[in-house]
Each structure stands twice: as C-alpha cells, then as structure tokens.
Amino acid sequence: MDSFPAPATALVEQMRSNAAQHPAQAMAFQGAPGANSHRAALEYAPGALPLPCFSFEDAIDAVKSGQADSAIIPIENSQHGRVADIHFLLPESGLSIVGEYFLPIHHALMALPHPDGSLGPFEAAYSHPQALGQSRHYLRARGIVPLSHADTAGAAAYVAERGDPAIAAIAPALAADLYGLQIAQDRVEDADDNTTRFVVLAREALDPATLEGQPAMTTFVFEVKNIPAALYKAMGGFATNGVNMTKLESYQKGASFAATMFYADIVGAPGDPAVDRAMEELAFHCKELRVLGSYPLARERG
C-alpha cells in the first residue's frame, strides 16, 4: 500500500532503489522521507540505507520478505504515550527486538509563504496524531485546527502539494528542506524533554549470551491463568529476585474481553540467574509466555 503525497514520491523511489541494491544494509521505517523515524534510522545506524514504508505493517513486511535487514519502529513517547501497537504487531510478525533507541523530538510549524513572502495566519495544521498531541497546547493557544495525517513528513509533503498558505504542517525541520516549505516557528512541542523510544526489529533474535557483561533489556508478552491473584503471583518473582520491571501494559486478546495479555520490559536478559528464576516463576502462572527479544539497554532506567 502506497499513498505518499506527490512531492515525496521521487525521494521514496530513489531511497527504495538504493535499498533494493543492498538489502542487507536496508533499514525500514514508517513514514515519508524526513519523518522522525527516518532521523532515528540515520542516527541509530549511520551506515544503513533507510527504506521508507507507508505503514508500520509495511515496514515489518519489508523485513520479513528480505527487502530490509531490520526496521526501526517508534513504540512510546514521553509526552503522549504509546505510538505503535507493537504488542499487536510484533507477536504476529515473527520478528525479534534487537535494539532500542531514544530520539529527542523537536517539531516545527512549516508552510508555503503567501505571494508577499509572509507566513500565516494558519487555519489548520496537518501531522501525525502523536505530533499533534505533543503540540496540542501550542495549537490550541493559536486557534489552529489539528488535522491528522499518516506521518509528520508526509504531512509536510501534503501541504506542499496542496499549495494553500493557510494550511501548515508540524514536522521535523528536515522535512521543510525536502519539500520546499518555510519554517514559521521551530520547537512547537509542548515539552522541552519530548523523547520517543524506538525499537529495532530483525528476523533473527540476539543470543542473550552475547549480552553477558553489559546492561540489557528483555521484552515479552504473557497471559496469566484465569485464577484469582494470578497477576499478583506472576509478578512476585521479579520482586523477590530483584529484577526491575520498567513497563507493564495490558491489552485485550480478541473481542471477547475474556482474555487479557500483558506487554512487559525488564532490565536484564536470560542467562542472568535472577532473570531466569523470575521468568521461570512467571511461566508457572501463565497460559502463554513469549519473549520478543533481549537487546542492549540504550538508557538507564530508574
């Protein structure tokens, strides 16, 4: 599926051509060139060939099919919470998490100038729902209507395509250069420490033994048995073994609302005796337990 605005199409095709020639160096990302995921790919793996994909599913499929060696996917933002439903996408994908990356997020308000060279006022601004949420106070204070788009850079390309100076985009500053827009105001995010966490996905999981001696993270999903206090008992092993659980989210499995899955991150990896004991105790209380990957810790927790 492709629905990139026309101003982005040539860039997308060029980047796809480069990636197709060297798929072992390709890193898939969701969004048009200039998106924050594009920035994350360039910063996480400077030697990689970024491969733009329209959706998260397309980026995952690119890795599964061998078009790309890996994908970099945003999963949570410090200001606006969950980004991608990774707990739905990843368990079904067959891919593993092999890395994480934290990207400081800065948004710019950009648009085409009026014939006299001035910018604004703006009736509306297009962007990804996450970026709109991260800039909602800025937009509200100025009476700018937020309008959703598939990604930030794609919104910039769309604004360039429409040619209406009353319509702006919220996107990384790089997108203004790529699509011929001018920046009306930089850093319109509502929090100075706005940060997004990305995970890197690959076909093969890292061997936890290769992480020995360095800080690591492990991500997994599980479903506890349907008995009283099952979750409480399942979590007890992490407390008694001193394993730090940094994330625990629940989500419904199917439409019956009778089965709840949990998505969790812990500091440590299998092979660490404390982690092994905690995971063994967790498994005892679970109907299902699936490790999604162990990988180097990019930022200290706690």
pLDDT digits (tens, 9 = 90+) for 76-98: 988 877 776 777 888 889 999 99
H helix or E strand, kind and range, residue 109: strand 108-111
pLDDT band at 252 (very low <50, low <70, confident <90, very high): confident
- Please enumerate in sequence order all residues whose Cβ is within 8 A of that of 45, keeping only pairs 6 or more positions apart, or say none: 27, 70
The pLDDT value given to residue 258: 66
Catalytic residue among 198, 220, 222, 238, which? 198
Between 259 and 144, where is the model more confident? Answer: 144
DSSP string, 179-233: HT-EEEEE---S-TT-EEEEEEEESSPPPGGGGTTS-EEEEEEEEE-SSTTHHHH
Contact between 265 and 194 (Cβ < 8 Å):
no
The conformation of residue 181, written as its DSSP 8-state character, comes to -
Catalytic residue among 152, 196, 218, 219, which? 196
pLDDT at 129 over 70: yes
Whether 198 is a known active-site residue: answer yes
The pLDDT value given to residue 1: 45
The pLDDT value given to residue 2: 66
Closest CA to 263 of 229, 298, 289: 289
Tokens of 202: 């690959």
Mean pLDDT of 207-228: 94
Whether 196 is a known active-site residue: answer yes
The pLDDT value given to residue 302: 67
Hey, what domains does the chain have and what are their CATH numbers? 6-105+195-202 (3.40.190.10), 108-186 (3.40.190.10), 208-296 (3.30.70.260)
Distance CA 90, CA 219 (A): 11
Q: SS3 of 216, please?
A: strand
Contact between 224 and 234 (Cβ < 8 Å):
yes
Q: Which residues pair with 52 in a beta bridge?
A: 29
Distance CA 279, CA 212 (A): 17
pLDDT at 256 over 70: no
The pLDDT value given to residue 253: 74
pLDDT at 231 over 80: yes
The pLDDT value given to residue 257: 65
Cα separations (Å) of 285 from 66, 228, 253, 289?
Answer: 37, 11, 18, 10
Mean pLDDT of 288-301: 95
The pLDDT value given to residue 260: 82
The pLDDT value given to residue 81: 78
Mean pLDDT of 202-220: 96
Contact between 149 and 126 (Cβ < 8 Å):
yes
Distance CA 79, CA 107 (A): 13
pLDDT band at 3 (very low <50, low <70, confident <90, very high): confident
Mean pLDDT of 50-62: 95
The pLDDT value given to residue 30: 93
Closest CA to 86 of 214, 242, 251: 251
161 residue type, one letter: E
Query: What percentage of the chain has pLDDT greater than the value 90?
Result: 85
pLDDT band at 227 (very low <50, low <70, confident <90, very high): confident
pLDDT band at 301 (very low <50, low <70, confident <90, very high): confident
Q: Considering the chain, what is the average pLDDT of its residues?
A: 94
Based on its alpha-carbon atoms, the radius of gyration of the chain, rounded to whole angstroms, reads 21
pLDDT at 255 over 70: no
